[in-house]
């Protein structure tokens, strides 16, 4: 693949920090942004659609894609695979878009190894309590899944110093505008 780092933006942060909502806000205000749709082996949540939120694959389909070198990066988060599809990102870049990757800290580290100049942002919840409350409010995950996600969140927050910018999401509009201004400043 050609050097695409100048057109990629990584957004990470614990599950429940509000990454997807913030990115949704960005897409509404600027159509030069495009969200990469990842593949996952996690089952879809009630409101999720195949090809829109994720490409929902079986483990066999995902592993076949790994063997075909179909991912820019992939990682295991909890017990499921998640991966950034080469073809999806390439298509969006060819269409002239700045491509946003909403990925976990392992995937972000892989992308940074491949493309050292890539812009990276970490979305931080205002506190652990707020994060847990947001995960519960989502009412989509089991109690065991929430505990697992809280445990992963702790490890992810410890890696936030490896990102170019950290944005605290205590006020959604403010966080969207901060992220927007950072991307506009850094990506020409």
Nearer to ligand 5GP, 57 or 188 (CB): 57
Residue 71: strand pairing partners: 85
User: From the CB of 188, what's the least distance to ligand 5GP, in Å?
Assistant: 26
Q: Which of 160, 20, 49, 37 is nearest to 99 (CA)?
A: 37
Nearer to ligand 5GP, 79 or 188 (CB): 79
Which one, 159 or 180, has the nearer CB to ligand 5GP? 159
Residue whose CB is less far from ligand 5GP, 98 or 104:
104
- Given the rule CB under 6 A, which residues bind ligand 5GP? 15, 38, 42, 73, 75, 77, 82-84, 102-104, 106-107
Class of residue 84 by CB neighbours under 10 A (exposed 0-12, middle 13-18, buried 19+)? buried
Cβ pair 152, 15 in contact under 8 A? yes
Shortest distance, CB of residue 149 to ligand 5GP, whole angstroms? Answer: 7
DSSP letter, residue 54: B
Which string of DSSP letters, residue by residue, matches 91-145?
A: HHHHTTPEEEEE--HHHHHHHHHH-TT-EEEEEE-S-HHHHHHHHHHH--S-HHH
Nearest approach in angstroms of CB 79 to ligand 5GP is: 11
CB of 104 to ligand 5GP, least distance (A): 4
Residue number of the CB atom closest to ligand 5GP: 107
Termini Cα distance of the chain: 20
CB of 127 to ligand 5GP, least distance (A): 18
């Amino acid at each position: 693949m050609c050097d695409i780092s100048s057109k990629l933006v990584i957004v990470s942060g614990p599950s429940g920090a509000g990454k997807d909502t913030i990115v949704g806000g960005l897409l509404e205000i600027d159509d030069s942004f495009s969200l990469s749709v990842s593949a996952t082996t996690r089952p879809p949540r009630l409101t999720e659609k195949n090809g829109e939120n994720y490409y929902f694959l079986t483990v066999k389909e995902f592993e076949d894609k790994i063997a075909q070198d179909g991912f820019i990066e992939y990682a295991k988060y909890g017990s499921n695979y998640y991966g950034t599809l080469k073809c999806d990102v390439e298509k969006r870049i060819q269409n002239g878009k700045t491509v946003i990757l909403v990925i976990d800290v392992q995937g972000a580290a892989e992308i940074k190894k491949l493309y050292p100049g890539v812009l990276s942002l970490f979305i931080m919840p205002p506190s652990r309590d707020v994060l847990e409350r947001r995960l519960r409010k989502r009412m989509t995950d089991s109690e065991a899944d929430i505990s697992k996600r809280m445990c992963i969140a702790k490890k992810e927050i410890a890696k936030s110093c490896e990102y170019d910018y950290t944005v605290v999401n205590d006020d959604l509009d403010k966080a969207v505008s901060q992220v927007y201004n950072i991307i506009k400043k850094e990506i020409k």
